[in-house]
Amino acid sequence: MNEETFNQLMPPQARADMLSVLSFIEEFGDELENSSDLLALTPNLRISAHLIRGHLEGRLITMTSLIGASRAPYATANRRIKDMQEAGLIDQRPRTATGKSFSLHPSVHLMEQWTQLASRVHRMASAHFNGGATTDTTEYYYGESYMKAKSIPPMEVLVEPLKLAGGLRVLVHGDPTFMVMDNLKRQFEQTIGTQIHQRAFSIDRLREETMRNANRKSSNYDIIAVDLPWVGGFAESNVLMPLDVAMDIARIDPSDFHTAGWQAAHWNGRAFGIPAQTTPELLFYRKDLFTRAGIAPPATTHELLSAAKALHNPQRGLHGIAWNAARGTALGHTVLMTLADFGQPILDLKPNAGGFDTQDLAKRNYRVTIDTAAGLQAAEFLNELLKYSPPDILSMSWYERIRPYAAGRIAMAYGYTLLAPYFELDDASPANGQTGYLPHPAGPNGAPIAPVGGYVMGIPANLPKERVAAAVEALLVFTSPPAQKLYVQNGSRTNPRYSVGSDPDVRRLSPIFEAVDAMSWRDELQFWPRPPIPEICEIIQICGEEFHDMLRGIISLQKALRRAQERADATLAPPP
C-alpha cells in the first residue's frame, strides 16, 4: 500500500483529527520553546510533523523547506533527514528526469505511526481534560461516530458470476462462525454465482490438511482459513500467497479492521490474508453472581483470585473459574496469555507505546522468554487458579470451559468471543443476559489486555493462476462488511471490522461488540501474546506439556519453567 492509497483510505474526519493533533503538538512545542531553550522539540519531531502536514494538505515538500521546518542548523537537519530516510520513514521522489530535483514524502510506516500517535494524543487529552473521563466509546472512536453510524446494506449479487471449474473450494475451521457461513452457503452461492464446497476441520486437523495441501502440485482449495499464529510459518514456507501479488490491497479497506487483527495478518511487512474473525480472549463473568456477592468485576489477577475464591462453592455445584488447562495446545495458549497478563511476551520483544513491537519478527532475531521472574509469577497464578476450578479442569479446552459456564456451573471463564453463542443464544442458560465482558485482569507488571485470536482467509500459494482472480473476488465477498454483518445476524459473535461493530443492527444483538470496540479503542486488543513466528506451534505445545506436569504436581514450578525454556530454545533456528 503506497501513501496515496493510505491517504485515500483515511476518512475525512480522521484526516481532520490528525491535522488538529498536529497543530496542537506544534503549538505546544512553540510554547515550550518560548519558555526555555532547553525544552525545544527535537528536529525529528518537527520534520515528521511538517511532512505529515504537507502530505495531508497536498503541499510539495522539498529538502529546503524541510530543513527550515526542523529549526535546526543546516548540517544537523540534513543529517537527521538522511537518518530518517535510511530508517524507512521518508520517501524521496524525483521531480525531473535527471533526478537532481526531488520531493520528500512521509512513508506509509511514518503515516501509520502518526495515525496511532494522533489517536493516543486525542485519547489522553480527553482523559485528562474532560473531567478525568475518556470520551464515551458509545459516541466516539477515532475518526468515526457511532451515533451517526448507518446500517450496512445487504450483500449485492456480483455483476458477473465467478467462473470456477467445479465451483469454489474452501477450507475452514469447524467453529461457530465458519459453521454460520456454511449454513448461509446457498445465499453466498447466489451472490457469487457458483457452487461452494466447504470443508471444516478441528484446529489440529486444519493445520495438517493445510500443510498437505501446500505440498501438492496444485491446491485443492481456492481459499483457506488460517489461525493467526500460523501466519509467519505459512508465509516462510510459501503456503500462502502474499495478498499484494493477488490483488490491490486498497480494495480491502484496511482502515476498517481492528488494528490488532489487521497487523496479525502480516509477515515481513506484507499481508497474507484478510481478517475473517477477530475474536479476542476475554474474561466472561456472571454479573448477577457478582452483584449478589457484592464483588466488583476484577481488574487485576489478585482481584480475580479473590473473586474466584469468594464464589467457589462446589457443595452447591458452583466453581469459581474455568480456563484452557488441557495438556498440549490448549494449556499452551493459556501459558502464553498468562505471561502477557504479567507484562511479558513469550519472546524478547521490544516494548512500544501499544505493548510490544512485532514488526521485525521476520528477521528471526529473537529468543524465548519463559524461565523469568514474570514466568514464575504466571506459574504461581495458574497454580492458584486450580484451587477454584472444576475437578476436571486439567482436561478442559476450548469448548469444555464454556459449556459449564453456559450451564450455570461456573462463575467466570476465560473464553474467545466466538464461543459466546453457547450462552447468548440459549434462553435457558443462566448466563444469558447476565454475562459481563472484560479484558484479561493484569498482574503486577502488566496491563489489561484482550489477546487477539481468530482467523484470516487467504489464497494458497499453489493455487493455479487461472483461479486466482475469481478466488480473490470470493474472498472479498466473504470478508466484506455486509457478509460480516450477516454472520452476526445468524449467530456469530466475532467481528474484524469497525464498521460492522458500529452498525446499530449489530450492536442491538449483543453487548460484546460494544465491549470489544471499546477495548480496541483503548489499545487493549493485542496480538503480541501469540507472535506469529514459524516456531510458535511447537513452543505452545511445549508449554502445554511442561506446565501440565506442573499443575498435576509431577514437577515443581521452577523445573517446569526451566524445562519449557530449554525445549523452546531448541526449536529456534539461527537468524537467516
Are the C-beta atoms of residues 198 and 162 closer than 8 Å to each other?
no
C-alpha grid cell for residue 143? Answer: 475518526
Angle between helices 481-489 and 176-183 (to 10 degrees): 100
Are the C-beta atoms of residues 200 and 182 closer than 8 Å to each other?
yes
Looking at residue 229, its amino acid is P
State percent of the chain over pLDDT 70.
87
Give the separation between CA 269 and CA 564, rounded to whole angstroms.
30
| One domain for residues 263 and 291 | no
| One domain for residues 345 and 264 | no
According to the model, what pLDDT value does residue 37 have?
62
Tell me the C-alpha to C-alpha distance, in Å, between residue 58 and each of 52, 81, 105, 121, 250: 10, 20, 11, 23, 20
| One domain for residues 446 and 300 | yes
Q: Is the residue at 163 inside a domain?
A: no
Looking at residue 33, its amino acid is E
Are the C-beta atoms of residues 52 and 18 closer than 8 Å to each other?
yes
Please report where in the chains the cell 454465482 appears, as a residue. Answer: 193
Q: Is the residue at 36 inside a domain?
A: yes
Are the C-beta atoms of residues 345 and 445 closer than 8 Å to each other?
no
According to the model, what pLDDT value does residue 36 have?
65
Q: Is the residue at 139 inside a domain?
A: no
C-alpha grid cell for residue 345? Answer: 511476551
| One domain for residues 301 and 194 | no
Q: Of the given ranges (119-123, 244-248, 263-267), which has the lowest mean pLDDT?
A: 119-123
Q: Supply the CATH number for residue 464's domain.
A: 3.40.190.10
Q: Is the residue at 151 inside a domain?
A: no
List Cβ neighbours of 362 (8 Å cut-off, separation of 6 or more): 232, 235, 236, 267, 268, 269
| One domain for residues 30 and 55 | yes
According to the model, what pLDDT value does residue 242 have?
96
Please report where in the chains the cell 434462553 appears, as a residue. Answer: 427
Give the separation between CA 102 and CA 362, rounded to whole angstroms.
32
| One domain for residues 445 and 461 | no
According to the model, what pLDDT value does residue 130 have?
55
**Which of 266, 223, 263 shows the shortest CA–CA distance to 244?**
266
According to the model, what pLDDT value does residue 38 have?
61
Q: Higher model confidence: residue 15 or residue 466? A: 466
Q: Is the residue at 49 inside a domain?
A: yes
Last residue of a domain, one of 129, 147, 180: 129
Are the C-beta atoms of residues 277 and 445 closer than 8 Å to each other?
no
C-alpha torsion angle, residues 386, 390, 395, 401 (rounded to 10): -110
* Mean of pLDDT values over 299-318: 97
State the total domains in the chain: 3
With 70 as the cut, is the pLDDT of residue 533 above it? yes
According to the model, what pLDDT value does residue 520 have?
85
Q: Of the given ranges (72-81, 131-140, 245-254, 267-276), which has the lowest mean pLDDT?
A: 131-140
Helix (H, G, I), strand (E, B) or coil at 227: strand
Are the C-beta atoms of residues 516 and 525 closer than 8 Å to each other?
yes
| One domain for residues 295 and 438 | yes
With 80 as the cut, is the pLDDT of residue 258 above it? yes
According to the model, what pLDDT value does residue 39 have?
63
According to the model, what pLDDT value does residue 422 have?
93
According to the model, what pLDDT value does residue 71 have?
84
* Mean of pLDDT values over 442-456: 93
| Predicted structure pTM score | 0.74
Q: Is the residue at 266 inside a domain?
A: yes
Q: Is the residue at 402 inside a domain?
A: yes
List Cβ neighbours of 350 (8 Å cut-off, separation of 6 or more): 356, 357
With 60 as the cut, is the pLDDT of residue 472 above it? yes
According to the model, what pLDDT value does residue 165 have?
94
Q: Is the residue at 522 inside a domain?
A: no
For residue 94, the surrounding DSSP H or E stretch is strand 90-94
Over residues 165-192, the pLDDT tens digits come to 999 999 999 988 899 988 999 899 989 9
| One domain for residues 443 and 483 | no
Last residue of a domain, one of 129, 148, 179: 129
Residue 57, domain extent:
3-129
Instruction: Place 133 in a pLDDT band, splitting at 50, 70 and 90.
Output: very low
According to the model, what pLDDT value does residue 557 have?
97
Over residues 140-151, the pLDDT tens digits come to 333 344 334 568
With 90 as the cut, is the pLDDT of residue 218 above it? yes
What burial letters (b/e) apply to 164-185, b meaning 16+ CB within 10 Å? beeebbbbbbebbbbbbbeebe
| One domain for residues 350 and 257 | no
* Mean of pLDDT values over 223-251: 95
Over residues 482-492, the pLDDT tens digits come to 999 999 999 99
| One domain for residues 415 and 535 | yes
| One domain for residues 432 and 535 | yes
Q: What is the mean pLDDT of the chain?
A: 88
According to the model, what pLDDT value does residue 123 have?
66
Give the separation between CA 574 and CA 397, rounded to whole angstroms.
33
With 60 as the cut, is the pLDDT of residue 576 above it? no
| One domain for residues 45 and 193 | no
Q: Supply the CATH number for residue 107's domain.
A: 1.10.10.10
